[in-house]
Amino acid sequence: MRLTTKGRYAVTAMLDLALHEGRGPISLADISERQGISLSYLEQLFAKLRRNDLVKSVRGPGGGYQLNHEQCAISVAQVIDAVNESVEATGCDRQGDCQSGETCLTHHLWCDLSNQIHAFLNGISLADLVARNDVREVAARQDRRQTGKVFLTSVDSLLNDKAAV
């Protein structure tokens, strides 16, 4: 069983949105910079997240995205499902054609494992993740790094303006 990049990035982006929720709408460019996810990939993911009613977009200056529900009402499984990702442990995607078109000996075992994984992820909300100290520490480090880049860019701009005078 392996969760692909699409599912991992969707959960990461939604958690970033939840962590920065108090700052108003969050731009995909900010999420992209903090999380190292390409902007075009985030646009594709957020189109699916919006269609599945997990986020809403805010247009205009200062626009971006916001969660469309309380953090406690959005589970990790919902995010993964919204981007058409699965945590499937079977090799046949539950089709039962695992062994030359027939069900293999361990098919039902892997189906049960897939169900357990989905139930586990369904029991974890964005609020649960936001409350974790380890998550908050990583987010604080990312914010400091991003703030430092913004500060350095502003200083560079200021110095270049003075050099031009």
pLDDT class for 162, splitting at 50, 70, 90?
low
Query: What is this structure's pTM?
Result: 0.84
Kindly list the domain boundaries of the chain, sorted by start residue. 5-86+125-131
Q: pLDDT higher for 72 or 149?
A: 72
Give 39-95 pLDDT, tens digit per residue: 999 999 999 999 999 999 999 888 999 999 999 999 999 999 999 888 888 888 878
Q: Is the dihedral of CA 121, 123, 128, 134 positive or negative?
A: negative
| SS3 state at 12 | helix
Q: What CATH number does the domain located at 5-86+125-131 have?
A: 1.10.10.10
| CA–CA dist 84, 77 (Å, integer) | 11
